[in-house]
Chain A
Amino acid sequence: MRTDDLIKALDADARSTAMPLGSAWWIGAGAATLIAAAVFWLAIGPRTDIATAMYTTRFVAKFVFTMALAVSAFALSRALSTPGAATSRAAAWMVAAPLLVGVAVGLELLSVPAADWGRRLVGSNMVICLSFIPLIGIGPLAVFLAVLRYGAPTRPVLAGAVAGLLAGGLAATFYAAHCFDDSPLFVATWYTIAIAILAALGALGGRLFVRW
């Protein structure tokens, strides 16, 4: 088939239209949030003292970290799924969440006696944290990989990993409402590992499923 013949066929198909990728990302984000919320409520639910916990800085800070991660990873995922789009600014924003956690860890180390560091780092919910963040995040990750497939990422593995961070940020936002361990030392350690698991799964999914 000559290239001119191919162009005839493509032109004859010009009327077929598809939803813009930008809209697909918002629909995907909505669907992923619903899935994460459903799994969260069915599996663990919020902690019983959430009404009082809401007035403590450490509890609220957890949501600042996780939402900063989710928002910045959402922006970068969108950029990575569009060929030729500038990604450097969105990539730079990815340091926001780690930076905030880093500052919080510093403040925690200053305000808590060294004897307490170990107890706060280990916490009481480590295993639950490591299993439920990936569990809540796996459905959203599947949704985000589907959106990546609908898009056209020229670096599928990287895009998949960032989609994993996005799913991780979303899942951790829900999980934070359940978890009793509010110390930044705990969050910086166990949340990070749990989210890294999702990022690794996302990279694998990007390699295997995001072909176009």
Chain B
Amino acid sequence: MTGKDEAELSRLMQAAIAGDEKAYADFLRRTAALVRGVIRRKIVQGGVDPEDVVQETLLAIHVKRHTWRQDLPVLPWVYAIARFKLIDAFRRRGRRIEIEIDEIAETFAEPEAETVSGRDINRALDGLPPAQRSVVSSVSVEGRSIGETAAKFGISETAVRVSLHRGLAAIAKRFGAKQFGRAKQFKRE
């Protein structure tokens, strides 16, 4: 957490809110890297995949970005959301909350690629209505633009945007729901 990060991220987020999509992608990538660093250091016990928490945090940042006040620094806001999502992740998995105050513990994170299909976000994605699911997959995993996705499914760009927005909101909500954690544990057994 340096003053340079703060100034840069603050500028990017302000540009993003003003409608600059490139700035938003930059903001999210840099935020993901910072949050990943913090979360890996704070998870000192198994059971929670740091990358799941990174993704939950990014989704929460996205759907709650109207709660950031532009006159306040952005990093405390980001870290408060990350911390909340981390505590939530432990709680949902029925674990005692183990968050190191001093960031001394060593990382134990698994490489991202190995567990990519087992991610929480995939389960949340699978729970979406088919139309939303295919739009979200198209724009994310398949890497299409809004226009390409509209052409693929033969619907308007507005319809793509609406499905994408609703789909992401629904995924974010699922992460926040208690039942999701329970359902997940049930599936694992």
Kindly supply a per-residue 1/0 record for chain A positions 1-44, scoring 1 wherever the CB is within 8 Å of any chain B CB and 0 otherwise: 11111111111111111111110000000000000000000000
Q: Are A10 and B58 in contact (CB under 8 A)?
A: yes
Interface of B is mostly: helix
Q: Are A1 and B58 in contact (CB under 8 A)?
A: no
Contacts A1-B121, A14-B16, A15-B161 given; does A82 touch B116 at CB 8 Å: no
Measured in the bound complex, the distance between the Cα atoms of B144 and A5 in whole Å is 10
Q: Are B140 and A1 in contact (CB under 8 A)?
A: yes
Q: Are B67 and A82 in contact (CB under 8 A)?
A: yes
In the complex, whether B9 has a CB less than 8 A from a CB of chain A is no
Kindly supply a per-residue 1/0 record for chain B positions 104-130, scoring 1 wherever the CB is within 8 Å of any chain A CB and 0 otherwise: 000000001000100101100100000
Contacts A3-B51, A7-B58, A20-B66 given; does A12 touch B145 at CB 8 Å: yes
Q: Are A7 and B29 in contact (CB under 8 A)?
A: yes
Contacts A6-B58, A11-B28, A211-B176 given; does A16 touch B141 at CB 8 Å: no
The residue that B165 contacts in the complex, of A4, A8, A16, A22, with Cβ under 8 A, is A16
Question: For this complex, into which size category does the number of interface residues on chain A fall?
Answer: 20 to 34
Give residues 29-83 of B contacting A (CB, 8 Å).
29, 32, 51, 54-55, 58-60, 62-69, 72-73, 75-81, 83
Which residues of chain A are near B103, meaning CB under 8 Å? none
Q: Are B140 and A13 in contact (CB under 8 A)?
A: no
Measured in the bound complex, the distance between the Cα atoms of B84 and A85 in whole Å is 14
Give residues 135-187 of B contacting A (CB, 8 Å).
136, 139-141, 143, 145-146, 161, 164-165, 168, 172-173, 176-178
Measured in the bound complex, the distance between the Cα atoms of B59 and A33 in whole Å is 34
Which residues of chain A are near B77, meaning CB under 8 Å? 82-85
Q: Are B60 and A152 in contact (CB under 8 A)?
A: yes
In the complex, whether A55 has a CB less than 8 A from a CB of chain B is no
Contacts A12-B146, A18-B66 given; does A3 touch B81 at CB 8 Å: no
Which residues of chain A are near B21, meaning CB under 8 Å? 11, 14-15
Taking the nearest CB of chain B, how far is it from the CB of A210, in angstroms?
A: 10
Q: Are B143 and A10 in contact (CB under 8 A)?
A: no
In the complex, whether A184 has a CB less than 8 A from a CB of chain B is no
Q: Are B69 and A22 in contact (CB under 8 A)?
A: yes
Contacts A2-B116, A3-B54, A9-B136 given; does A21 touch B121 at CB 8 Å: no
Measured in the bound complex, the distance between the Cα atoms of B143 and A85 in whole Å is 36
Which residues of chain A are near B168, meaning CB under 8 Å? 9-10, 13
Taking the nearest CB of chain B, how far is it from the CB of A197, in angstroms?
A: 26
Taking the nearest CB of chain A, how far is it from the CB of B127, in angstroms?
A: 13
Measured in the bound complex, the distance between the Cα atoms of B38 and A60 in whole Å is 53
Give residues 62-115 of A contacting B (CB, 8 Å).
81-85
Q: Are B67 and A3 in contact (CB under 8 A)?
A: no
19 contacts between A and B (CB under 8 A): A1-B119, A1-B121, A1-B125, A6-B121, A7-B29, A9-B136, A10-B28, A10-B59, A12-B145, A15-B19, A21-B66, A21-B67, A82-B72, A82-B77, A84-B79, A152-B84, A154-B84, A211-B176, A212-B172
